[in-house]
Amino acid sequence: MGIAIELTQYAAARTVAALFSPFDPEQNMETARLVGRVYARVSKKRRERARTGVARAFPTMPIELQRQIVDTSIGHMFGLFMVDAFAMPRVVGRENWHERVRLGGVGRAMEHLTSDRPCLFVTGHVGNWEILGYVLALVGFEMTALARPLDNRFLNDWLLGVRQRTGLKVITKWGATDEIQKVIESGGKVGFIADQNAGNDGLFVPFFSRLASTYKSIPLLALRYEIPIVCGYARRVDGAFRYELRVTDVIEPADWASQDDPMLYVGARFNRAIEWMIRESPDQYLWVHRRWNSRPKHERDGTPMPARLEKKLAALPWMTPELLADLARPIGEPTDPAALVQPGAPLPIDPIYRDALRSASDANPPRP
């Protein structure tokens, strides 16, 4: 990217921030949603990609609600980039953070937050991943976040300053292994956005009804240092610039101690935790990104799932025969709704989506 383009993008972002600054974040959210609706109509390819992902994750959801999830998620995305990123340092401070962010079901994580022992924090592109680390650092928890640097160096430096204003330390992915290990060895806490596609060489684990590629670094760090993983997110409340911190799982070293393949277990379990975040808040997930883009080798080769992999997946404590059968199917085939029936899995918090899934479940009860 040339410097002229970078400066133009940077100037545009600063202009938007200046124009929005006199207004309340809630007013600006309406503008962001309008821009999102226009984007959704213009970018038909990305909108269809998002709808395909929603249909894969919520196959019994009525089509009109699937489309609503897509459109609302795009509006949410523009709210993050156009409003929240600029509003955070202006309206969220040490004295008033509780007016904008509340601690929801985080009880299980508090022990690890307040401990002087290291741990890993995992979230996904759901809710507001930026405010998660921002607020935790603001209230006094020493946090280090791993982040991919933006291609635009001026935007990257500006947003990096916003992220680190409250004491959050941010390190980039490039050459970060040594730094992360130093943080862990000193008793620190490291946060990851862990739902990116990790490519053909990643660790393939269940994500909704299909295998998805995830990075091996998180399981490897957890196993090497025998440290827990806290999985949580910041959920937007009522479409406003208000959030609730929620925890969907805490993975302890004792949980994987007896597993035959602990790396697969850890990778699969924190991806299940991210899946549960999305089940709770489906219209706050970044559906436009290519989560299932990379495929396992057997699928690329057009051959059946290897028996060895099938055996490992079957050994996961929460695996069901229906999910295992669906995981073996190519990415383009329809999802079997029975594969997504998981004991303890949350329903959407929004009653519109929750009631629709309950009605679909009542009309089509699980097979005995």
* 367 in any annotated domain: no
| Closest of 197, 236, 196, 194 to residue 75, by C-alpha | 236
* 108 in any annotated domain: yes
Q: What is the pLDDT of residues 184-242, one digit of tens each?
A: 999 999 999 999 999 999 999 999 999 999 999 999 999 999 999 999 999 999 988 89
How many Cβ atoms sit within 10 Å of the Cβ of residue 316? 19
* 175 in any annotated domain: yes
pTM of the model: 0.92
* 159 in any annotated domain: yes
Q: Average of pLDDT values for 147-171?
A: 76
* 366 in any annotated domain: no
Q: What is the pLDDT of residues 284-321, one digit of tens each?
A: 999 998 999 999 999 999 999 999 999 999 999 999 99
Q: What pLDDT shows up at residue 367?
A: 53
Place of tokens 């955070």: 88
CB-based contacts of 45: which residues, under 8 Å, 6+ apart?
none
Report the alpha-carbon distance of residue 242 to residue 106 in Å, rounded.
Answer: 17
| Closest of 320, 356, 275, 364 to residue 62, by C-alpha | 356
* 233 in any annotated domain: yes
Number of domains in the chain: 1
Q: Round the average pLDDT of the chain to a whole number and report it.
A: 89
Give, for 306, the enclosing helix (H) or strand (E).
none
* 368 in any annotated domain: no
- The range of the structural domain enclosing residue 21 comes to 3-360
Of the pLDDT bands very low, low, confident and very high (cuts 50, 70, 90), residue 168 is: confident
Does 333 have pLDDT greater than 70?
yes
* 95 in any annotated domain: yes
Q: What pLDDT shows up at residue 153?
A: 77
Q: Average of pLDDT values for 252-256?
A: 97
